[in-house]
Amino acid sequence: MIELPDNPTIPYIVGDGIGRDITPVGLRVIDAAIEKAYGGRRKINWKKLLAGEEAIEEVGDVLPEETIEEIKRYKVAIKGPLTTPVGGGYRSVNVAIRQILDLYVCFRPVRYFKGVPSPLKRPELLDIIVFRENTEDVYAGIEWPFKAEEAKKIREFLEREFNIKIREDSGIGIKPISVFGSKRMGRAAIEYALRHGRRSVTIMHKGNIMKYTEGLFRDAIYELAKEEYSKKVITEEDLLREYGGKVPEGKIVLKDRIADAMFQQILLRPDEYDIIVTPNLNGDYISDACAAQVGGLGMAPGANINFETGVAVFEATHGSAPKYAGKNMANPCSFILSGAEMLEYIGWKEAKELIIEGIQRTIEEKVVTYDLARQIEGAKEVSTSDFGERVIEHIRSM
């Protein structure tokens, strides 16, 4: 969380494809909630930044230097989805933004909105925030095709030095997970849990098999808890041995689960989990699985955050869905809810609550965009902008 003045400048990137539909609607909803909560005392001064297709059209550069500099300068930003061309063109702008600004936490809260179709009987039991590591792991892109000279050299090195034989037609990927990277994740998740009155932090890992990478992730976070949070964090073992299974006031429980078991747990005992902290690849899977349980990606907000510098880029978690671009059809909830998380991040919690309630009321009256309308009996299907206007009407009436 960081503090900004009452009239902060917050940069935004419209995004490609449906970004052009959802972003303007989202900004209007955010403005309406702030106006209602603070009656003019607080107001965001939105500053448009270029990235993606629009940036190519206007300045011939997919990610202008100025965009990065302005995000660094203002610290908090929000963006729509950006297209990554398949098989050529340019590399992912989303990934570039994360890497350049070292936004090491991918922050994905998942909660249920009453009325959203879900495959579960009791989807409301899930209220989880995934803290996914964003910079390390097999996901970091250190890999070579099997024919590449680098892959050949690595295979030869392993054979020569360690007598490890790898088939000649093997591609090679490297999975680095550091103590530094793991501890800063643990710190971000624990700090968040303490500040927001959450009950537990669960380390999700596959350390039983990948002992020196995922196992290190787990061990480093337990070590961090001992070093820096011994008065506030207890382990599951402490909970049973010293506290008779009852979590003492003001403390949180740090536990860990093997990744495959975690997927069962979020289905079978979702209410026993709260914050999940996990390496990059696990985090990618588990955040989509959690989102699916409460009605899909169209509803799930996200952000990429560096909790040390405070720089945070909030974003819709889905892509640019080119098929629906410019049709005023897409569901703006993921973007709007990312905006709500952004408001909480800058301490404007009242405005966040209004947005959540506004969306809840709109969905409960079955006024929804096409993606939800086709799954809800008796739904009234509306456009992106009409959905936004209805949310604003509810916000104004609260």
State the catalytic residues. Answer: 139, 206, 260, 284
> Binding residue for ligand NAI (CB under 6 A) from 81, 115, 123, 388?
81
> Binding residue for ligand NAI (CB under 6 A) from 298, 301, 339, 358?
298
Residue 298 has φ and ψ, to the nearest 5°, of: -60, -20
Of 358-397, binders to ligand NAI (CB under 6 A) are 371
Instruction: Give the Å distances, CA to CA, from 363 to 137, 253, 356.
Output: 38, 34, 11
Asked whether 387 and 28 are in contact (CB, 8 A), the reply is no
Least gap, CB of 297 to ligand NAI (angstroms)? 6
Asked whether 175 and 213 are in contact (CB, 8 A), the reply is yes
Of 312-331, binders to ligand NAI (CB under 6 A) are 315, 318-321, 323, 330-331
Can residue 53 be called a binding residue for ligand NAI (CB under 6 A)? Answer: no
Residue with smaller CB distance to ligand NAI, 226 or 323: 323
Residues making up the chain, counted from first to last = 398
**H-helix or E-strand spanning residue 237:** helix 236-243
Residue with smaller CB distance to ligand NAI, 87 or 250: 87
Residue with tokens 């309406």: 32
Asked whether 191 and 305 are in contact (CB, 8 A), the reply is no
Residue with smaller CB distance to ligand NAI, 81 or 279: 81
Task: Give the interface segment with ligand NAI, choosing from 66-74, 76-84, 120-128, 191-199 (CB under 6 A).
Answer: 76-84
Measured at the alpha carbon of residue 378, what is the angle toward residues 372 and 381, in degrees to the nearest 5? 45
CA distance 101 to 8: 20
Residue with smaller CB distance to ligand NAI, 84 or 235: 84
Residue 88 has φ and ψ, to the nearest 5°, of: 120, -165
> Binding residue for ligand NAI (CB under 6 A) from 30, 33, 50, 94?
94
Residue with smaller CB distance to ligand NAI, 178 or 383: 383
Least gap, CB of 88 to ligand NAI (angstroms)? 12
Can residue 177 be called a binding residue for ligand NAI (CB under 6 A)? Answer: no
Measured at the alpha carbon of residue 228, what is the angle toward residues 223 and 233, in degrees to the nearest 5? 80
| String marking each residue 15-34 x if it binds ligand NAI according to CB under 6 A | ---x----------------
The β-bridge relationship of strands 76-79 and 9-13 is parallel
As beta bridge partners, residue 10 has: 46
Residues that bind ligand NAI (CB under 6 A): 18, 81-84, 94, 298, 315, 318-321, 323, 330-331, 334, 371
